[in-house]
């Protein structure tokens, strides 16, 4: 096992999965047709954003059903090398530019991590702010039983020592943790015939599927926006078959995200989602008619949706395609903070089904972009949320596709250095360049005169004909000559 970390400290193996799509998160059966125009586009926002519930779930009594992640104390391998994704994106170069321009890398920024909670870790420069907890209100988002949210937060804002390879993207930013989901919590079992069961409405999960639903995800978004954060990261998705409708839970989530962006000026970043047996890849013949809908990415007007690339630079095999994909970032062989309590170690593997596996998923591509958004917001304080999102898209490494985007990596792999330094035409009042069909640069083909060739062929053919006739005559004469 290759590991990266703090000299003198043991590496860790997380006893939790690298969660990508916490889904499907079921939603209310109330459905209305989606709009025409783009076949995949959601309808316009038609409901008010939900309340934030004061940062807690009040109507579902979740209970812990599994123990929280712990360290593997028998593992003494030290993690020192830099993760490939960090080097690929030139994160440290971008941080130097940010410090040179503003004196810090993301200083003054607050990034909300709506996830499975965040465990306090000594490699956060500022204490993690508990923003709310829709799983167990008493913990205020500062418990991470699943090990997912802490890893996400580490990619955004880990402030590690100089001799440690792994670095967070915006180490001077502060994390605000809101726990909205957990696979280690569930609803208590109801006796048969008691009238209990999975709650309906708002996208609640059924019993035994863990804590979290689209209703509480919408509340968490509003909660984060009301707390005054600058960026929201959601590495949690709801995937379902595309059927031309939008349900009530999705409507609430759409309204909550729209509220965060347009009213509270928050940049919203979300994982594009991972494929699975229940979340089929969008590889249908017509790319604009997806067979799977993934939200929050579906609400593309208000969300930076992040796909994953692997260490070859290509699209990761598990990364969900879709016309809503905005940009891409590294999502394989991830290194981040150990989410176990009372440790200052790092982790780069998990145990799933009794086997060691690399940490991977679009869940971990999204925080790279959330960290870049924090750097950009600190560098350009006069830009609003939509302008920050546009800058990140405009400076990405565009794919070779019409219009500079495709359904695999959107506008391309995020480029932190360019996002901090490039001139974006719309910000300078310059008309953006438009694609034009250019000539090949070669002269037009000359009209060919076939007369000489025809004469030559005719002469050659005539000569061959005369030769054949001569041979025939000679042969006939010799055959008819009397024998001597």
Active site positions, annotated: 115, 148, 363
* Alpha-carbon gap, residue 161 to 79, rounded angstroms: 13
- H helix intervals, 110-247: 148-157, 214-226
CA separation for the pair 224, 229 (Å, rounded): 6
Instruction: Please tell me the distance from the alpha carbon of residue 253 to that of residue 23, in angstroms, as a whole number.
Output: 15
Report the C-alpha gap between 476 and 319 in whole angstroms: 82
User: Quick one: residue 195, left, alpha or beta (phi over 0 = left, psi -120 to 50 = alpha)?
Assistant: left
Tell me how far apart the alpha carbons of residues 69 and 345 are, in angstroms, rounded to a whole number: 14
Residues 6+ apart with CB under 8 A from 410: 305, 307, 325, 326, 327, 328, 393, 396
What is the spatial distance between Cα 366 and Cα 392, in angstroms, rounded to a whole number? 13
User: CA-to-CA distance for 238 and 279, rounded, in angstroms?
Assistant: 9
CB 233 within 8 A of CB 269: yes
Question: What is the DSSP-derived secondary structure letter of residue 319?
Answer: B
57, two tokens: 């779930």
- Of residues 220, 278, 218, 268, the one with CA closest to residue 27: 218
Is the Cβ–Cβ distance between 290 and 316 less than 8 Å? Answer: no
Q: Which helix (H) or strand (E) covers residue 46, if one does?
A: none
Which run of H or of E encompasses 42? none
Contacts of 168 (CB under 8 A, 6+ apart): 123, 154, 155, 156, 157, 158, 159, 160, 371
> Among 381, 394, 417, 415, which residue's Cα sits nearest to residue 109?
381
Distance CA 340, CA 360 (A): 18
Reduce the secondary structure of 401-459 to three states and give it as a string. Answer: CHHHCECCCECCECCHHHHHHCCCHHHHCCCCCCCCCCCCCCCCCCCCCCHHHHHHHHH
């Amino acid at each position: 096992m290759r590991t990266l970390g703090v000299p003198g400290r043991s590496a860790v193996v997380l006893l939790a999965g690298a969660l990508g799509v916490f889904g499907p998160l079921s939603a209310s059966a109330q459905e209305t047709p989606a709009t025409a125009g783009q076949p995949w586009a959601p309808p316009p926002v038609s409901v008010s954003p939900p309340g934030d519930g004061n940062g807690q779930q009040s109507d579902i009594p979740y209970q812990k059903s599994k123990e929280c992640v712990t360290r593997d104390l028998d593992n003494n391998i030290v993690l020192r090398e830099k993760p490939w994704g960090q080097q690929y994106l030139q994160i440290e170069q971008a941080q130097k530019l940010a410090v040179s321009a503003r004196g810090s890398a993301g200083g003054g920024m607050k990034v909300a991590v709506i996830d499975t909670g965040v465990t306090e870790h000594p490699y956060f420069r500022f204490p993690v702010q508990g923003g709310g907890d829709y799983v167990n209100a008493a913990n205020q988002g500062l418990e991470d039983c699943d090990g997912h949210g802490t890893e996400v937060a580490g990619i955004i804002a880990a402030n590690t020592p100089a001799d440690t390879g792994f670095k967070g993207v915006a180490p001077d930013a502060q994390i605000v943790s809101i726990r909205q989901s957990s696979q280690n919590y569930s609803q208590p079992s109801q006796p048969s015939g008691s009238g209990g069961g999975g709650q309906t409405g708002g996208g609640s999960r059924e019993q035994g599927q863990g804590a979290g639903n689209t209703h509480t995800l919408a509340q968490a978004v509003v909660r984060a926006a009301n707390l005054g954060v600058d960026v929201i990261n959601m590495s949690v998705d709801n995937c379902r078959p595309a059927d031309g409708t939008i349900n009530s839970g999705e409507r609430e989530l759409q309204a909550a995200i729209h509220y965060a962006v347009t009213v509270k000026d928050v940049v919203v970043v979300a994982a594009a989602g991972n494929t699975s047996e229940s979340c089929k890849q969008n590889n249908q013949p017509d790319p604009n008619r997806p067979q799977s809908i993934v939200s929050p990415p579906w609400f593309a007007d208000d969300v930076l949706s992040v796909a994953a690339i692997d260490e070859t630079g290509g699209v990761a095999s598990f990364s969900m395609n879709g016309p809503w994909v905005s940009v891409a970032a590294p999502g394989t062989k991830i290194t981040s903070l150990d989410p176990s309590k009372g440790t200052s170690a790092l982790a780069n593997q998990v145990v799933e089904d009794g086997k060691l596996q690399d940490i991977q998923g679009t869940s971990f591509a999204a925080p790279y972009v959330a960290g870049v958004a924090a750097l950009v917001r600190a560098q350009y304080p006069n830009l609003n949320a939509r302008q920050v999102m546009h800058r990140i898209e405009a400076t990405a490494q565009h794919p070779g596709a019409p219009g500079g985007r495709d359904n695999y990596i959107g506008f391309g792999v995020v480029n932190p250095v360019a996002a901090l330094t490039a001139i974006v035409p719309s910000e300078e009042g310059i008309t953006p360049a438009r694609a034009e069909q250019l000539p090949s640069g070669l002269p037009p083909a000359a009209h060919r005169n076939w007369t000489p060739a025809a004469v030559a062929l005719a002469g050659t053919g005539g000569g061959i004909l005369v030769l054949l006739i001569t041979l025939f005559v000679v042969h006939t004469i010799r055959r008819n000559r009397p024998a001597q």
